[in-house]
Chains A and B, each alone.
Chain A
Amino acid sequence: MAALQELWQARPGRQQWRLTPSVRRDLRNGLLFVSPWLLGLLIFTLYPIVASFYYSFTNYDIISPPVFVGLTNYKDLLTNDPLFWKAVGNTLYYVALAVPLNLLVALSVALLLNLKVRGMVFYRTLFYLPSIVPDVAAALLWGWILNSQFGLANAFLRSLGLPTVGWFTDPAWSKPALILIGLWSVGGAMVIFLAALQDIPDYLYEAADLDGATALSKTWHITLPMLTPTIFFNLILGMIGAFQYFTTAFVLTGGGPVSSTLFYSLLLYSNAFSYFKMGYGSAMAWLLVAFIFLLTWIVFKTANRWVYYEGEGV
């Protein structure tokens, strides 16, 4: 994300270009090389953004042309659609629990692996592997493990003499169950943390050792501050991803039981692709984007209070 700041500092206007023949040739070549992406940007990003914004003010069933209806879609969503608020509640619940938990687990496991334990490569492989298992396959597997009658999880609880849980039959447990499944694939974030940990220069710890610092205070005063840019990065990406959580819930629960796992993306999908309410779906998408941007902006704003960038001075 600091990358963004840096690029902004280096934005053009600060550099004076004169169109000499060699600059002109470089400009032509540069544009030629980036043209595949530039075309894609226009067709698959910029145009869709504009179109989606327009659709959000229309009734559009794709068969007949869109009909402009002003703010009706937004008004209906916010005041007249109980499913919308159900989905908002479910999604906020999921984001609020899954994002911090994922960060915490990824970071803790990375810290453990960074203790230079023997067999690090084995552990790293094992912990990373679930994150590349196809979502559908993982969903099937976990659906079976969390099966309330014959599943492994309940058998384990039973063997401990604990009451069993209706993972996907009890609305109170369905969201925690999905969050649990998500924790199995924290490997990606873990590997990023691990790389960042191994980037922390040893002399910082050596200096702390000379001062007689304990392991705990070294973690608190050196490791965590040095990791804040990575935590920040994983937090932003984790949030954007969690707000759009879809596949596992779609495959496993389809939104049930009693709409307890009807997440925002599931409702958006069914409005757009089951009922072909493209205008309504677009309005949903824009509300989501507005909310994600607002939250990202808040996190960015707080960043200079807790994110420490090396080389910026303390």
Chain B
Amino acid sequence: MANRSLRTPTVAVSTSQPSSVVHPNRNDKLWRSLAAHSVLIVLAAIFAIPFIWLLSTSLKPTEQLFKLPPEWIPRPFMWSNYAKATTFIPFFLYLKNTVYITVFNVVAMLISCSLVAYGFARIQWPGRDALFFVLIATLMIPGAVLLIPTFIIFRNLGWVGTPHPLTWPAFAGNAFYIFLLRQFYLTIPRELSSAAKIDGASEFQTYWLIILPLARAALAAVALFTFLANWNDFIGPLIYLSDKSQFTLAIGLYGFLSRVKTEWGLLMAAATLMVSPVVLLFFFTQRTFIQGITMTGLK
């Protein structure tokens, strides 16, 4: 990211058209736009086909899966694939486990990151910038080196085989989200804090009553990213969960694959059930999402 990103985050992706540029050669422009559109349409088809194929397969009867050439429209529509998929694996149990871990993380992450970012953005104290430098540096540590010792810590705590290693660490925050929130807090005028202080507000009251309400957009982005990271997480549950009754959807789906290699209809139905909350959430919160990504340039 460019230098300035540290001070002022780029919050909005403007889609407004620059009106000032008038190209002398209109024909040229028309051709370019036509060419761009045709390439985009082909690309769009390539990106969309896997989604369409996912849905189509999830609704097909078993015999139709192996028809050559492949058929796009299920005949008949096997809505029962979905019912079967949810009983073939204990889908609702896995869903419950996933929701528990995800919600826990969202709440804990919002609390910890919003507090820590406040300490880095809104209070001046000796050593702060050095520590913030350390925070940024931790972003570059490959996770592979932390995996084994972290596992041993949790093993010594007797937490392996429980969801705790996947939940409690969220209270320690996450460097990416702290960075994102700090950038946002920095854009809130300092005068607001000073005014609150003059009125006798403590540091915590300033955080709670002034900063948090103004940082809603950034907090929403953090909540979304945390949701996604935990909903999609595979390695964490793979390493820490051993009891089937505690499995998440990601692990459950993986177990499903290794048990039934050819029931593609059921597999795709289960995959669709796992993907659809993510897709729905994205459609409803697109602006927050895109803003969050561009806010720091970090994803």
Q: List chain A positions with a Cβ less than 8 A from chain B.
A: 1-4, 6-8, 10-12, 15, 17, 23, 26-27, 29-34, 36-41, 43-45, 47-49, 51-52, 55, 62, 109, 112-113, 115-121, 123-130, 132-137, 140-145, 149-150, 152, 155, 158-159, 184, 188-189, 191-192, 194-196, 198-199, 202, 205-206, 209, 215, 229-230, 233, 236-237, 240, 243-244, 246-247, 250-251, 265, 268, 272-273, 278, 281-282, 285-286, 288-289, 292, 296, 309-312
Task: Indicate whether B92 reaches chain A with its CB closer than 8 angstroms.
Answer: no
Q: Which single member of A121, A155, A198, A215 contacts B14 (CB below 8 Å)? A: A198
Bound CA–CA A274/B53 (angstroms): 35
Task: Kindly provide the distance from the CB of A203 to the nearest chain B CB, expressed in whole angstroms.
Answer: 9
Q: Which single member of A51, A116, A137 contacts B253 (CB below 8 Å)? A: A137
Number of A-B residue pairs having CB atoms within 8 Å of each other in the complex: 315
Known: A127-B43, A155-B68, A202-B21. A4 touches B137 (CB 8 A): yes
Bound CA–CA A33/B124 (angstroms): 12
Q: Is the CB of B153 within 8 A of A48?
A: yes
Given A26-B124, A30-B128, 17 extra CB contacts under 8 A: A6-B3, A7-B136, A30-B124, A37-B178, A55-B148, A117-B33, A125-B286, A127-B43, A128-B290, A141-B50, A189-B299, A194-B13, A198-B14, A202-B21, A209-B21, A215-B32, A246-B235
Bound CA–CA A285/B222 (angstroms): 29
Q: Among residues 130 to 175 in chain B, which have CB atoms less than 8 Å away from a CB atom of chain A?
A: 130-138, 140-153, 155, 169, 171-173, 175
Q: Which residues from B are CB-within-8-Å of A126?
A: 44, 47-48
Bound CA–CA A286/B173 (angstroms): 25
**Which one of B75-83, B187-195, B212-220, B264-272 is at the A interface?**
B264-272
Q: Which single member of A40, A289, A310 contacts B2 (CB below 8 Å)? A: A310
Bound CA–CA A59/B29 (angstroms): 67
Known: A49-B145, A145-B50, A246-B235. A29 touches B278 (CB 8 A): no
Q: Which single member of B119, B153, B232, B290 contacts A191 (CB below 8 Å)? A: B290
Known: A40-B169, A133-B275. A48 touches B145 (CB 8 A): yes
Task: Kindly provide the distance from the CB of B122 to the nearest chain A CB, expressed in whole angstroms.
Answer: 8
Q: Is the CB of A191 within 8 A of B293?
A: yes
Q: Is the CB of B1 within 8 A of A33?
A: no
Known: A43-B153, A45-B141, A62-B152. A117 touches B68 (CB 8 A): no
Q: Which residues from A are CB-within-8-Å of B155?
A: 62
Q: Which residues from B are CB-within-8-Å of A233?
A: 1, 297
Bound CA–CA A62/B160 (angstroms): 13
Q: Is the CB of A251 within 8 A of B257?
A: yes
Q: Is the CB of B294 within 8 A of A192?
A: yes
Q: Which single member of A15, A44, A281 contacts B146 (CB below 8 Å)? A: A44
Q: Is the CB of B250 within 8 A of A36?
A: no
| Chain B interface residue number, banded | 35 or more
Q: List chain B positions with a Cβ less than 8 A from chain A.
A: 1-6, 10, 13-15, 17-18, 20-21, 23, 28, 32-33, 36-37, 39-40, 43-44, 47-51, 53-54, 57, 65-66, 68-70, 112, 115-116, 118-120, 123-138, 140-153, 155, 169, 171-173, 175, 178, 203, 207, 228, 231-232, 234-235, 239, 249-250, 253-254, 257, 264, 267-268, 271, 274-275, 278-279, 282-283, 286, 290, 293-294, 297, 299
Secondary structure dominating the interface of A: helix
Q: Is the CB of A30 within 8 A of B142?
A: no
Q: Which single member of A134, A268, A296 contacts B232 (CB below 8 Å)? A: A134
Bound CA–CA A289/B144 (angstroms): 8
Bound CA–CA A119/B41 (angstroms): 11
Task: Kindly provide the distance from the CB of B140 to the nearest chain A CB, expressed in whole angstroms.
Answer: 7
Q: Which single member of A2, A123, A189 contacts B1 (CB below 8 Å)? A: A2
Q: Which single member of B13, B36, B136, B137 contacts A195 (CB below 8 Å)? A: B13
Q: Is the CB of B116 within 8 A of A135?
A: no
Task: Kindly provide the distance from the CB of B123 to the nearest chain A CB, expressed in whole angstroms.
Answer: 4
7 closest A-B pairs by CB: A40-B172, A33-B119, A30-B125, A48-B149, A195-B294, A34-B119, A51-B149
Task: Kindly provide the distance from the CB of B141 to the nearest chain A CB, expressed in whole angstroms.
Answer: 7
Q: Which residues from A are CB-within-8-Å of B274?
A: 134, 136-137
